[in-house]
């Protein structure tokens, strides 16, 4: 049976060596759920890959990425291993554990995993005839077109089908770009020996033997620095013209993140399926809703990252309610320069009853169910909500009742970007903390902190700008917003605790028999970072035992 651990600020001390067979009960539980967004019976671990695949446990080599992060990887220097697959597919359930096993054997540390079914169920962006479309009628297939525009048109992309699982080695600077690949198709019969050999060949640049080609990585920091600095520059430059409204700085270059933010960087973007998996896992989770194309997000995300670092958080999960990248980058020397931005693929738009546009809103609608009766500006003012087809059934009944009204078939409570919450599935109200401005009228209404970077930076034109928000000048509203991050991010208490204390006695063992079962202690740090903590073994017979770690950073 798998043991579930809270991931944030935890160190594990193991006092003996052991070999353990792990049965993936979480994956089996999820397989029995009718939809990927259904609440998982028994919960999850918060590791989406381990929870979704049989025979893959924590410590695997895969990192699930959004369409936006995939585009960043495909337009970056390095040799990357990428797999297209989905937990819903027989091919992926069959082959992914083989890929993981061989990668570990060959010292491959990172394989980026992309699921073309953006909901993990039916929203297949590879299909040119898909019925799913945005509020303005744009097909979600355009998100796939953005990916394939960076890939070679020949094999293996030419014959790739979304029911396949495709592993490939990618280097944007090589002539071929895809230097080796292994494709497992729905019609293929699995042979472990042949599959292992095929995967191993990918890791050797297409050769049957020889040296392994190391895997490159694009960190969370690399991604956020690139896309947010570029998009903030695009928005704020304003052709060098000072904005009299005080909403744009006019600066030729804007840096939201600098190299000084790299150490302890906690922001991590997740896709829809990953977020649903996280929401089914135990413990407190910090979730920031924001988008790279969104100038309101650009205004505060740097402050969120720095606050997270100050308080020692391992992860702040970032979710974009738009389904894919809305930025257009240049090429060549302008590869890091954004030339266009939009929010076309936003799932927070209601369905148009006349033409069916916006039918992707069910992703937001099903997600919002997890948050209970949470507070938003629109809901508190009773002026906007999101209609959607429950469970993405386009032949079903569209929701139509406002969340604040009596009746069934209710729309989803609408949030705006940016939005920050603390979430715990086991609480009566799962959204335990929120980042909102309570209006001075004290009438139960709130205003969300939709800021501009110029206000946060107190740019001269923002200071001089007219207009107020609930009686506050724009720059004062922004300073309140930065301080109010503590309402969610500042720990309620400080201290280091151990999951087990006191005396522990191992049973007698005989020479030549297998090692004792590992004794594990979870170390939880609540509050700011402590730096390195030293771990030592003492007591009678301590020399016969071995620590898994002699230091941890809590």
Residues 6+ apart with CB under 8 A from 214: 79, 107, 108
C-alpha dihedral sign at 33, 38, 40, 45: positive
Q: How confident is the model at residue 517 (pLDDT cuts 50, 70, 90)?
A: low
Q: pLDDT higher for 493 or 352?
A: 352
Q: How far apart are CA 437 and CA 153, in angstroms?
A: 50
Instruction: For residue 449, give the nearest of 472, 432, 423, 422 by alpha carbon.
Output: 472
Q: How far apart are CA 164 and CA 166, in angstroms?
A: 6
Q: What is the mean pLDDT of residues 322-329?
A: 86
pLDDT, position 20: 30
The C-alpha angle 198, 99, 57, rounded to 5 degrees, equals: 165
- Is residue 448 within 8 Å of 437, Cβ to Cβ? yes
Residue 485: CA count within 13 A, CB half-sphere: 23
Instruction: For residue 4, give the nearest of 60, 37, 41, 43 by alpha carbon.
Output: 43
C-alpha dihedral sign at 536, 541, 546, 547: negative
pLDDT, position 513: 63
pLDDT, position 17: 28
Q: How many CB atoms lie within 10 A of CB 462?
A: 23
pLDDT, position 28: 42
Q: In 369-473, where does DSSP find H-type helix?
A: 377-381, 453-456, 460-464
User: SS3 sequence, 139-168?
Assistant: ECHHHHHHHHCCCCCCCCCCCCCCCCEEEE
pLDDT at 16 > cutoff 50: no
The C-alpha angle 212, 215, 216, rounded to 5 degrees, equals: 145
Q: How far apart are CA 87 and CA 116, in angstroms?
A: 11
Q: What percent of the chain has pLDDT over 90?
A: 76
- Is residue 454 within 8 Å of 236, Cβ to Cβ? yes
Q: How far apart are CA 223 and CA 91, in angstroms?
A: 30
| Bridge partners for 302 per DSSP | none
Instruction: For residue 449, give the nearest of 249, 256, 300 by alpha carbon.
Output: 300
pLDDT at 23 > cutoff 50: no
Q: In 280-347, where does DSSP find H-type helix?
A: 295-310
Q: How confident is the model at residue 325 (pLDDT cuts 50, 70, 90)?
A: confident
Q: pLDDT higher for 538 or 40?
A: 40
Residue found under tokens 């969340």: 403
What would the pLDDT profile of 363-382 be if each residue is shown by its tens digit? 999 999 999 999 999 999 99
pLDDT at 543 > cutoff 80: no
pLDDT at 8 > cutoff 50: no
Q: Average model confidence (pLDDT) for the chain? A: 89
Query: By 3-state DSSP, what share of the chain in percent is helix, strand and coil, each rounded to 5?
Result: 30, 15, 55
Specify the DSSP class assigned to residue 215. Answer: P
C-alpha pair distances (Å), 468 with each of 172, 200, 361, 465: 48, 62, 33, 9
For residue 274, what is the enclosing H or E element?
helix 272-279
pLDDT, position 553: 62
Q: How far apart are CA 111 and CA 96, in angstroms?
A: 11
Q: How many CB atoms lie within 10 A of CB 477?
A: 20
- Is residue 156 within 8 Å of 147, Cβ to Cβ? no
Q: What is the mean pLDDT of residues 200-218?
A: 95
pTM, to two decimals: 0.86
Q: How far apart are CA 323 and CA 360, in angstroms?
A: 9
For residue 521, what is the enclosing H or E element?
strand 520-526
Q: What is the mean pLDDT of residues 151-159?
A: 94
- Is residue 422 within 8 Å of 288, Cβ to Cβ? no
The CA R_g of the chain, rounded to the nearest whole Å, is: 25
Q: What is the mean pLDDT of residues 352-373?
A: 97
pLDDT, position 529: 55
Rounded to the nearest 10 degrees, the angle between the axes of helix 220-237 and helix 67-74 is 90
The pair of structure tokens assigned to 112 is 């980026």
Q: How many CB atoms lie within 10 A of CB 481?
A: 25
């Amino acid at each position: 049976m798998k043991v579930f651990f809270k991931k944030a600020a935890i160190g594990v001390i193991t006092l003996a060596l052991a070999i353990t067979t792990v049965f993936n009960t979480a994956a089996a539980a999820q397989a029995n759920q009718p939809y990927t967004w259904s609440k998982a019976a028994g919960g999850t671990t918060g590791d989406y890959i381990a929870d979704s695949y049989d025979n893959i446990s924590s410590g695997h080599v895969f990192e699930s990425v959004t369409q936006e992060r995939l585009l960043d990887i495909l337009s970056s220097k390095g040799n990357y291993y990428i797999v297209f697959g989905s937990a819903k597919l027989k091919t992926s359930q069959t082959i992914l554990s083989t890929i993981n096993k061989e990668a570990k054997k060959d010292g491959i540390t990172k394989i980026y995993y992309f699921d073309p079914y953006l909901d993990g169920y039916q929203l297949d962006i590879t299909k040119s005839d898909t019925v799913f479309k945005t509020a303005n009628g744009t097909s979600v297939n355009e998100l796939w077109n953005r990916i394939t525009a960076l890939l070679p048109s020949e094999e293996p992309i030419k014959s790739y089908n979304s029911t396949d699982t495709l592993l490939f080695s990618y280097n944007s600077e090589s002539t071929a770009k895809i230097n080796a690949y292994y494709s497992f198709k729905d019609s293929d019969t699995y042979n472990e020996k042949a599959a292992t050999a095929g995967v191993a060949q990918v890791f050797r640049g297409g050769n049957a033997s020889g040296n392994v080609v190391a895997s490159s990585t694009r960190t969370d920091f690399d991604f956020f620095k690139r896309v947010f600095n570029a998009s903030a520059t695009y928005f704020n430059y304003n052709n060098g013209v000072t904005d009299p409204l005080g909403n744009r700085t006019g600066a030729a270059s804007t840096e939201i993140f600098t190299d000084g933010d790299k150490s302890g960087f906690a922001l991590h973007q997740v896709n829809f399926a990953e977020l649903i998996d996280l929401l089914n896992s135990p413990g407190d989770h910090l979730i920031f809703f924001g988008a790279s194309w969104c100038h309101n997000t650009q205004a505060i995300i740097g402050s969120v990252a720095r606050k997270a670092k100050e308080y020692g958080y391992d992860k702040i999960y970032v979710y974009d309610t738009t389904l894919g990248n809305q930025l257009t980058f240049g090429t060549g020397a302008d590869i890091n320069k954004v030339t266009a931005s939009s929010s076309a693929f936003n799932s927070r738009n209601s369905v148009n009853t006349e033409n069916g546009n916006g039918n992707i809103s069910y992703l937001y609608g099903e997600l919002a169910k997890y948050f209970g009766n949470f507070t938003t500006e629109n809901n508190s003012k009773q002026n906007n909500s999101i209609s959607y087809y429950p469970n993405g059934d386009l032949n079903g009944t569209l929701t139509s009742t406002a969340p604040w009204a009596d009746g069934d078939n209710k729309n989803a409570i609408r949030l705006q970007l940016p939005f920050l919450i603390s979430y715990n599935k086991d609480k009566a109200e799962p959204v335990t903390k929120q980042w909102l401005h309570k209006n001075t009228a004290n009438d139960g209404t709130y205003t969300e902190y939709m800021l501009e970077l110029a206000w946060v930076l107190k740019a001269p034109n923002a200071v001089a700008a007219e207009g107020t928000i609930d009686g506050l000048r724009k720059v004062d509203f922004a300073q309140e917003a930065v301080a109010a991050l503590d309402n969610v991010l500042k720990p309620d208490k400080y201290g280091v605790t151990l999951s087990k204390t006191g005396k522990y006695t191992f049973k007698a063992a005989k020479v030549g028999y297998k090692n004792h079962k590992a004794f594990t202690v979870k170390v939880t740090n609540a509050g700011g970072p402590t730096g390195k903590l030293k771990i030592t073994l003492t007591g009678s017979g301590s020399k016969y035992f071995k620590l898994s770690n002699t230091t941890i950073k809590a």
